[in-house]
Every structure is written in structure tokens, then in C-alpha cells.
Amino acid sequence: MTGSMAMMVFLLISKYTLLYAVVLMLVALGGMFSERSGVINIALEGIMVIGGLVGVIVSASLMNHVNPYISMILSILASALSGLIYSSLLAFASINLRANQTIGGTALNILATAIAMVVAKRFNGSQSAKIDYNNSAYLINIKTSEGTLTINVFLILGIVLLILSYVVLYKTRLGLRLRACGEHPQAADSVGINVHKMRYIGVLVSGLLGGIGGFAYIIPAVSNWNFEYGVTGMGFLALAVMIFGQWKPFRIFFAAVLFSIFKSIANIYDSIDFLKDLGLNKEMYNMLPFIVSMIVLTLTSKKSRAPKAEGIPYDKGMR
């Protein structure tokens, strides 16, 4: 009996861990592309909100109209595209206008929540920002003797994108050029690399991955979402994952898994007896990933491998 109980808990933990790990990994990979090209992307939270919003609206509008699998593909594409478009605002401000990247990103975070509220309310035609949708096409149930493990399509997509990210960043000319712009843009420019173009690519890829990440956070977990809550700080956690992962794809993957174990405890603590007996409530467990990330950041701060030129607008005259 206790054996099957433990199995059930394990399946439950796996379900949420996989759910969150994919989200954190996708968004952190996005952040990685942006920062390796030299632009700090603190707007990931906002990009996630926009990606999630557009994806949810597309899938809610297509519900009962088209084949659920076609609707799924269209929704994911829409979320990626909207994230990309939204991130171009950051790219424009920080690359063309050489604005302070942190402030620009913060503005986009604030703006995203406001936009999401207005659009969601208009979409509903009411004063509630809660949108209902059907997410069954996204879920894949794997039956075992002890119960079912639910995974979602984003897991597969995430693994593909992880490998793709690695290949692009380390095995292609584009990746090499991108990294050069994040380390020493003046040197890169001197050998004929277009720094602005590379940084644009970095930021736009981060928007693409962030948009999918936001959608992946919202849609598989529940069947409705209130956009008042944005994406509850996942974008910021992804930043910590990226730093803990030292701006490297596979390390980011492991960091994301680690963080999501802590994050998933908040969802399942009441089905684990000894955690339930502690008498702590959901908020306490919600704090956990943030506390863990602070500890991790403190421990890794000494040997940080941050891209050298991140956060500094590129000025040709400085060469």
C-alpha cells in the first residue's frame, strides 16, 4: 500500500516537475540567446504573458471549430510569433535607441500585464480576465500499473528546441558570431560582423522561446486562466535558472529541473502526508523556489560566466 502511495506521489511530482521544467528551460534558453548577444532581457516575464495571452486566445477561439491538433499547432505558432513581435520592442529600445535595458525590460513587463488584462476582458466581453479553453489535445497520458503520468507536447517540443539551441549556439557560424557580440562587440565589428543584426537575432529568438514558454506554462496545467496573475513570476525564476545554468544550454536544462522540483512541491504538498503534517500553507511552499534561487545565486556568484558585454549598448564610436 505504501509502495503504491509512494509511486503515486512520484508520478505526481514528475508531472508537475516536467510541466515546470520545460517552461523554465524554454524561457531561460530564450534569455540565454538574448544575453549571449549582449542584451539583458528582464522582459521575459512580460514576453511570457503576451505569448500566453495570444496562444490562449487563439486556442479558445478555435475551440470546437477546427481539429484540436491543428488548433494546437496554430496556437503554439501564434504564441511564438507574438512573443517575437513583443520582444522587438525591447530590441528597438535597447539596440537602436541605446536605452537602459533594465528599464526598458521593466516597462515591457508592466505593459504586458496591463495589455493582457484589457485584451482578456475585451475577449470575454465582461469584466473578468479569466479565459476558458480546452487543453486535452496538449496532454499525453502514459498509463502505468500504479496510475497515469501526464506529460504534455511541450516536453517533446522543449527537448527538440534544447538540442537545436545547442547546435545553433555552438556549431554554427551564426552562434559563434552571436556569442562574439556578447563578449566583445567592438572586436566582432572589426571583423565585419553586424553587431546590431546579431543582437536583434538574439532578442527576437528570446521572444520566440519566451512566448512559447508562457503558453506552455498556462495551457497544460489548468482549463482556464485569469490574466490578472500574469505568469506569477515564472519569467523571473527563468532568469535565475539561466544564471544558475551559466548561460549554457544543457546546464540550463539541469537547473530548470532542479528549480521545478521545488516549484512543484507547492502544488502537491497536501497529497504527501509528512509535508501536510508540518502545517505550512501553499504560500510557504511558493516561497521555496525563490529562496533556493537566492542560495544558488549566492553560491555561484564567485565563478559567474556572464557574457562580458551584456547590458552595454553598442556604440560604434567607442571602438
Contact between 277 and another protein per CB under 8 A? no
State yes or no: residue 284 binds another protein (CB under 8 A): yes
| Total of residues contacting another protein (CB under 8 A) | 49
Distances (CA, A) of 73 to 25, 54, 106, 215: 20, 13, 30, 12
Element (H, E) at 142: strand 139-143
Q: Position 254: which residue type?
A: F
| Residue carrying C-alpha cell 555552438 | 170
Give yes or no for residue 224 binding another protein (CB under 8 A).
no
CA distances from residue 153 to 50, 299, 301, 302 in whole angstroms, order as listed:
20, 34, 35, 38
276 grid coordinates: 501536510
User: Which residue from 73, 114, 156, 222 is in contact with another protein, where contact means CB under 8 A?
Assistant: 114
Identify which of residues 26 and 107 has a Cβ nearer to another protein in the complex. Answer: 107
- Looking at the Cβ atoms of 95 and 201, the one nearer to another protein is 95
* 215/227 with CB nearer another protein: 227
**In the numeric block, which cell numbers belong to residue 215?**
503558453
User: Which residue from 42, 57, 62, 76 is in contact with another protein, where contact means CB under 8 A?
Assistant: 42
**Under rule CB under 8 A, residue 301 binds another protein:** yes
Give the span between the Cα atoms of 211 and 240, in whole angstroms: 18
Name the strand (E) or helix (H) holding 143: strand 139-143
**Entry field: residues in the chain:** 319
If one asks whether residue 166 binds another protein (CB under 8 A), the answer comes out as: no
Contacts with another protein, residue ranges (CB under 8 A): 42, 89, 93, 97-100, 102-104, 106-108, 110-111, 113-115, 117-118, 121-122, 125, 127, 228-230, 232-233, 236, 239-240, 243, 279-281, 283-284, 286-287, 290-291, 293-294, 297-298, 301-302, 304
